[in-house]
Structure 1
Amino acid sequence: MPVEEDHDVVVVDVEKIENSNEETEQQEEASDGMEKKQLSSKILRRNDSLEMKSQRFSATHAAKVRAILVFDTSTSFQSIGIVYGDIGTSPLYVYSSTFTDGIKNNDDILGVLSLILYTITLIPLIKYVLVVLKANDNGDGGTFALYSLICRYAKVGLIPNQQVEDADVSNYQLQLPNNRQKRASKLKSALEKSHFMKLFLLFATMLGTSMVIGDGVLTPCISVLSAVGGIKQAATNINNGKFLFMYVVVLISVAILVCLFMAQRFGTDKVGYTFAPIICIWFAFIAAIGLYNFIKYDPSIIKAVNPKYIVDYFIRNKKDAWISLGGVVLAITGTEALFADVGHFTVRSVQISMCSVTYPALILAYVGQASFLRKHNDLVSDTFYKSIPGIAVVFVMTLTSAFLVLIMIMIWKTHILLIISYVLIIGSVEVVYLSSVLYKFDQGGYLPLAFAAVLMFIMYVWNNVYRRKYYYELDHKISAEKVKEIACNTSLCRLPGLAMFYSELVQGVPPIFKHYVANVPALHSLLIFVSIKSLPISKVPTEERFLFRHVHPKELNVFRCVVRYGYTDVRNEEEPFEKLLVERLKQFIVDEFWKSQNGDDQEEEEKVQEEIEKEIESVEKASQDGVVHLIGENEIVACKGANIGKRILIDYAYNFLKKNLRQSEKLFDIPHKRMVKVGMTYEL
């Protein structure tokens, strides 16, 4: 079971210390004076301009800097083609969606432009680019990244599969400040003690993820329809223009969407390089047109930088101004992609592309449109789409802010005044926008929420029954003594070969093993219980993926292995899973033997070496004799006497999802000829 005590982790760079010691020993033993100087300069690592080595160091350092700059520039270019498709096309419909009843006062344009300018500056630029991107999880972003950070710092997970060894994974550690504060400890303790808060955090994470997906269903359609709507002007010059427009716009939009989604299968890298030039040209055009309109029509529109016009706009229009925020918020549609898609690129590349390309282009576009509208009030409705407030986006932004506040308090230990300022400025703006878009719920805002509700139901069903199954296996797990008794049973036949028994239980041996032995009275010469575990981090390095333990006594040749994955890891790797596991097992055997060796006696060392070779030879022989993969095929049913809700949840909803789930043997590329499925019924 996991240790419940908290310990401050002190990370010591052992490798550097060992390297330094080795270099010092080599320096003392070396006889050549020049070699001593070189080793000495290595240890001191001085950057002396009079020495040739330091010149090479400077050149190498400069080369690294140039390589980083080239990489950041390349990924920044790619990110333009992936991240900014939604927010970049927002100028097509923001003003028409805001002034749905036309422009009643020319100064209203100043108020709306001021709202747009400050919204784009506060939310995408300041909140996401400068603050939220720092809360990435080893380079990955999104709602799950924020949740994983909280899970690693506080024990808020609902499945009791935490292990002390999890903290040894390099990506698991958090960069914590030294000045721990009482409020962080109090909040951490409150989260860990409250079952309701654990459920709420999980629910919020699933809701946020579902809403991003739900919004992703509609936003491309809105953007493409709005863009293709530009042919309306040409269509009206033809006989039956409206008829032609209706069908041509729909057909062209469908064709574009089909092509876009078909292109995604080629991967982010190719899609990014393909669409980046197109999006760059788009930003260049809207920026140039915006600048032209600004100069030609009304340069005085620049006074919209004064927030006084926002106040005047609300005083003049009252409730209508609040309702119009549902249109203004479309100016930041797609902002969540800045954080969610950061895993495909880097934080710096997204920051560079946003600050140098996207933000300036959008500002010029909206300023130019406002300048044009000041002279042509009657043309505001000419930009096609009018009123769906894309609601899911604003909700996810607000949810991100809430999670970020938890991270600021618990993990970053941010000063309380900065936290309060963030909540009052950013949080209040998002809450106001959320209230506005919720007002138009019945005018299309329910669509992304409907998609999100379906996805939420799927996630809830799977998570709920999975937790029930895990607790069932935990309550009925086989003790170490029972495993020893089974393995030592002389009535069992020991077959040559290696058997891998898969399960998801981390603590102990699953009950299905006892069921297997009762029906098949035979065990292989080498048995490994393989537990598949997901860690609350994005990626687990391959060299840290396998965690082995011996089941005593060692003569039984029984091991337990926890295989750890992050939430973005691809499990079907190029190197066969079976081969990788056997190699890591042999490495574990070597390490375990040397750790148990005491002293520097040469005779004892030779004895240990012989034992290691013997143990590894037995593993290799078992592997050569044949590997069998034993997979538990559990049938989950509701227990007798269960209410109708529980029976629907388990017997129908969960089992329907399970039938459509990709099976374990496909995930790990297990050969069907060497796979044995062991069935057992769990009554939950």
Structure 2
Amino acid sequence: MNVVLSAVSGISASLGEDAVVGITIVILVFLFSMQRFGTDKVGLSFAPILILWFALISGIGLYNLVKHDIGVLRAFNPKCIYDYFKRNGFKQGWLSLGGIFLCITGSEAMFADLGHFNVRAIQISFSSVVFPAIVIAYIGEAAFLRKFPDKASNTFYACVPGHLYWPTFVIAILASIIASQSMVSGAFSIISQAQNLGCFPKVKVVHTSTKHKGQVYIPDINYMLMIACILVSAAFKTSTKMSHAYGIAVVCDMTITTFLVCFIMLVIWKKNIWLVALFLPFGCIELLYLSSQMTKFTKGGFVPLVLAFFLTALMGIWHYVQKERYMFELNNKISVESLGKLVNKENINRMPGIGVLYSELVQGIPPIFSHFIANIPSIHSVVVFVSIKAIPIATVALEERFLFRRMEPRGHNIFCCVLRHGYRDVLGDHEEFEFQLVHYLKEFITQETIMHEAEATTTTVEQITSIHIHTNENEVAHISHGYTIDDTLTKEGKHSSNGSSSGSITMLRVANSYSLSSSHMEGVEKEIKFIEKAMEKGVVHMLGEAEVVANPKSSIFNKIVINYVYSFLRKNFRQVDKVMAIPHNRLLKVGMTYEI
């Protein structure tokens, strides 16, 4: 936003301030409208434009250095820093640090590209291209100002040779759009990661690249950012006023990052405290710049701090309530013994069909299930509790996506299922999901029987190489994968890049072909036919509508946070039924109140 306004300000003298703001808004609308195409597509022209931009500013810098005053190179002498403060006085010199700091703003955008490039690529490009070009450009501007000190208000465009003015103006706008693109992409990446950590409400995340998992697009956040940028640009109007807010935002970001790195070095990396102490001077320098920038607080610098406080409070509230809600479900989950008593009640009817109840719990039955039975004393003939878990890989192989476990007692046909999906997997087609769920449930029933019979005959997992089920002399069904939820819970999330599990799924291979006994085979076929019959009667999706409220004995602050702020966020962000695109005629919502 600031870089776009700065680039367009080159025509402020001829068109006026209002025209600059109008053009900036048009560029911002164009920039945010292009985000839906993804960085892969809009980034094809980035490299040529940036190379041309850095070549242009370094060339203009050398031109001004040679033409006006090559003596400015003496400024590399560290003694000039002492002379500057001695000449201007400490107070005036300290106040000017805020403006000096603006020379390095924009460098923080490099870190947004860590999702697109590796660290080594950024280090090489910055050291060999970006840093030399920017330093030469600043040296050239300093040489120009030595001869024309009255041009300080618009030095960059003033020092451009006349025949290069308009090409420079066009390339500057294109370069500013690219710089803004990095910041917008970085915002999407941060929000996506915060959502995965449970620190942000559910939003639609679109992965725009099959090669880089860091390239994401979030439609809701995109348009919120666009509106915010337009409002701020219209309010500040000039890059000089906006620099007050921009400078404080960047120096706060750098200072916080430095001290967090120190904390990580001590706690996570276990580095020697003296090695960490060598890193602290960077933080002290940034604190000095921060103290200078804070003098601009009342001149617009408060804007990023207010926005940061608002966003941090929102994320903190969401994370706190979600954690407390999960702990409530975990502490009040239905035990195996209670489940058996609940299902065996005389007034409980078993309806034909399959009931799918969504829950965040991986193990155990959520308390909302008992609440459902208490109000509607009926359950489906087959019940599956589904917990959807996202995994940070592109896609999960279909045969490894559904992980089942049977809930005792065995004859009640109640199962738990962990549905794992990668960021490229689409969960929107409910019919396909139902077909896959039933298909792999039947496969699980068969494999579970094989495992039990293998254990009964003291067959060990290390001896297992292949499993064959002989249904008759002419038909042999080969099962290549066997797994249960219990095999994955302790190592959930450890996966290789191609989507296969790494240690989380126990592959069953029997040394010699193993045949199920006829009695076991009949039991498997009977249960599978029962599942198929239930499938024919239809699948009903059940979703817990848990209303989270504060405990009446809790503090007023806790009541405001839970009853109003969290409730508002939950009602205005995405729910599971929207994620799965479940039709209303197949959805049953069950309400319950959680007091935390």
Q: TM-score range by the shorter chain?
A: 0.5 to 0.7
Mapped contact 2:84–2:93 kept (Cα < 8 A): yes
For residues 501 and 508 of structure 1, the distance between their equivalents in structure 2, rounded to whole angstroms, comes to 13
For residues 428 and 227 of structure 1, the distance between their equivalents in structure 2, rounded to whole angstroms, comes to 32
Structure-1 residue corresponding to 2:305: 449
Deviations 1:165-224 (A, max 9, x none): xxxxxxxxxxxxxxxxxxxxxxxxxxxxxxxxxxxxxxxxxxxxxxxxxxxxxxx1x222
- Are 1:380 and 2:189 an aligned pair? no
Structure-1 residue corresponding to 2:67: 296
Report how far residue 289 of structure 1 moved. Answer: 0.9
For residues 570 and 541 of structure 1, the distance between their equivalents in structure 2, rounded to whole angstroms, comes to 6
Mapped contact 1:500–1:529 kept (Cα < 8 A): yes
What is the percentage of aligned positions where both structures have the same residue? 47
- Are 1:321 and 2:86 an aligned pair? no
Residue from 74, 78, 81 that aligns with 1:307: 78
Please list every run of 5 or more consecutive structure 2 residues that lacks an aligned counterpart in the other structure. 156-237, 460-509
Please list every run of 5 or more consecutive structure 1 residues that lacks an aligned counterpart in the other structure. 1-219, 236-243
Aligned CA distance change for structure 1 residues 310 and 583 (closer, same or farther; 3 Å): farther
Alignment-mate amino acid for residue 667 of structure 1:
V
- Are 1:357 and 2:267 an aligned pair? no
Structure-2 residue corresponding to 1:554: 410
For residues 41 and 101 of structure 2, the distance between their equivalents in structure 1, rounded to whole angstroms, comes to 31
For residues 588 and 410 of structure 1, the distance between their equivalents in structure 2, rounded to whole angstroms, comes to 43
Mapped contact 2:317–2:566 kept (Cα < 8 A): yes
The range that moved more, 639-648 or 584-593, is 584-593
TM-score in terms of structure 1 length: 0.59
For residues 433 and 76 of structure 2, the distance between their equivalents in structure 1, rounded to whole angstroms, comes to 59
Mapped contact 1:494–1:524 kept (Cα < 8 A): yes
Greater helix share, structure number? 1
Mapped contact 2:407–2:414 kept (Cα < 8 A): yes
Mapped contact 1:506–1:533 kept (Cα < 8 A): no
Mapped contact 2:245–2:304 kept (Cα < 8 A): no
Mapped contact 1:499–1:628 kept (Cα < 8 A): yes
The range that moved more, 355-364 or 345-354, is 345-354
Aligned CA distance change for structure 1 residues 271 and 606 (closer, same or farther; 3 Å): same
Residue from 569, 581, 584 that aligns with 1:672: 584
Alignment of 1:38-53 (within 5 A): none
Structure-1 residue corresponding to 2:370: 514
Alignment of 1:289-438 (within 5 A): 289-317=60-88, 318-383=90-155, 385-386=239-240, 387-390=243-246, 391-414=248-271, 416-424=273-281, 426-438=282-294
Mapped contact 1:577–1:669 kept (Cα < 8 A): no
Mapped contact 1:593–1:612 kept (Cα < 8 A): yes
Secondary structure at 1:336's aligned position in 2? helix
Secondary structure at 2:516's aligned position in 1? helix
Aligned CA distance change for structure 1 residues 541 and 416 (closer, same or farther; 3 Å): farther
Structure-2 residue corresponding to 1:649: 561
Structure-1 residue corresponding to 2:28: 257
Alignment of 1:20-59 (within 5 A): none
Alignment-mate amino acid for residue 671 of structure 1:
P
Report how far residue 482 of structure 1 moved. Answer: 0.9
Equivalent residues, number: 451
Alignment-mate amino acid for residue 356 of structure 2:
M
Mapped contact 1:631–1:677 kept (Cα < 8 A): yes
For residues 459 and 300 of structure 1, the distance between their equivalents in structure 2, rounded to whole angstroms, comes to 52
Mapped contact 1:392–1:449 kept (Cα < 8 A): yes
Mapped contact 2:549–2:595 kept (Cα < 8 A): yes
Mapped contact 1:290–1:365 kept (Cα < 8 A): yes
Mapped contact 1:326–1:389 kept (Cα < 8 A): no
Aligned CA distance change for structure 1 residues 591 and 379 (closer, same or farther; 3 Å): farther
For residues 634 and 285 of structure 1, the distance between their equivalents in structure 2, rounded to whole angstroms, comes to 60
Structure-2 residue corresponding to 1:286: 57
For residues 467 and 678 of structure 1, the distance between their equivalents in structure 2, rounded to whole angstroms, comes to 21
Report how far residue 516 of structure 1 moved. Answer: 0.7
Mapped contact 1:546–1:564 kept (Cα < 8 A): yes
Structure-2 residue corresponding to 1:154: none
For residues 524 and 279 of structure 2, the distance between their equivalents in structure 1, rounded to whole angstroms, comes to 58
Mapped contact 2:353–2:380 kept (Cα < 8 A): yes
- Are 1:481 and 2:334 an aligned pair? no
The range that moved more, 223-232 or 305-314, is 305-314
Deviations 1:52-73 (A, max 9, x none): xxxxxxxxxxxxxxxxxxxxxx
Alignment-mate amino acid for residue 595 of structure 2:
E
TM-score in terms of structure 2 length: 0.67
Secondary structure at 1:331's aligned position in 2? coil
Report how far residue 366 of structure 1 moved. Answer: 1.6
Structure-1 residue corresponding to 2:7: 227
Q: Which one scores higher on RCO, CA 8 angstroms, separation ≥ 6? A: 1
